[in-house]
Each structure stands twice: as structure tokens, then as C-alpha cells.
Amino acid sequence: MKKTTKSNSKNIYLRGSRIPITFLFDYIKKGYGISDFLSSYPWIKKEDVIKKLEEFEKEEISGRYAF
């Protein structure tokens, strides 16, 4: 599996994929779940989505916002 890479644009991609993580955010914003996202892109593994979300959790930015 390739490492997560950042492209020359602002998109961040899921591991082993060319699908930007912003696609997942669109699903969540529309009320869909991770399983719906994985049905759309069946070659992406659930564990890679979870890993990416956990990476986001650790980012400094996540502590700056609260509901």
C-alpha cells in the first residue's frame, strides 16, 4: 500500500487511492455514512478511512473547533 500523499493541489487523498478525502466529507455533510462512501469506492478499505480520520483527530486544527 502506498503512503498517503499530498498532491500539488490542496486535496488530500486516501491511502492507496486517488479519491480526495473531501469526497468523504461531502458524504457526511449530506447525511451519508462511511459505509455509503465505501460502497461508492469499493477498493478503498474501511481501515484506511478510519486511519485518515484518526490522523485528522491528532492534527492541531481539530482542537480549535467545537460544537
Read off φ and ψ for residue 40, nearest 5 degrees: -75, -30
Give yes or no for a contact between 52 and 20, defined as CB atoms under 8 angstroms apart. no
| Residue number with CB closer to another protein (38 or 51) | 38
Taking CB under 8 A as the criterion, the residue among 40, 53, 55, 62 binding another protein is 40
Taking CB under 8 A as the criterion, the residue among 4, 16, 21, 51 binding another protein is 16
Q: Say how many C-beta atoms besides its own lie within 10 A of residue 28's C-beta.
A: 12
Residues that bind another protein (CB under 8 A): 9, 16-19, 23, 26-27, 29-30, 32, 39-43
